Amino acid sequence: MTALARHVLAEYYGCDPAILDDPDFLRPIIEEAVRAAGAEVIKTSLHQFKPQGVSGVVILAESHLAVHTWPEHGFAAVEIFTCGTEPEPEAGHRYLLEQLKPAYHTVRALERGDMDTIERINSGQAAAG
């Protein structure tokens, strides 16, 4: 399948709660993960929740990275969505593994925007479900 974009969904368990609750510490980590993926940072916005937790997004020239943390559980959920074939969201995930040092993680990679389906729909043919 030729796709318009790739979407990596990662969950990190057993991370240091202090790191997950510090937006000033997380900002350079997630921005460097974007660069490790070969993407370009446009803008970063992080929000500190009370009593704990951080959510944020990095807008990329190629799409986005989003992070949501639950320090009280040592857990972070991250998605890296990149358009085109050049950025490698998996490389951004590997960088986050090195920095967040989870005890356990899961990751799923999805291709988004199937070009065969897009071309079939745009040519007036019905899509196969």
Q: Which sequence positions are flagged as catalytic? A: 63, 68, 83
What CA–CA distance (Å, rounded) separates 110 from 69?
22
Strand partners, 3: 114
Residue 114 host element (H or E) = strand 104-114
SS3 (DSSP) at 91: helix
Please give the order of strands across the beta sheet that includes 63-70: 41-48, 54-60, 63-70, 75-83, 3-13, 104-114
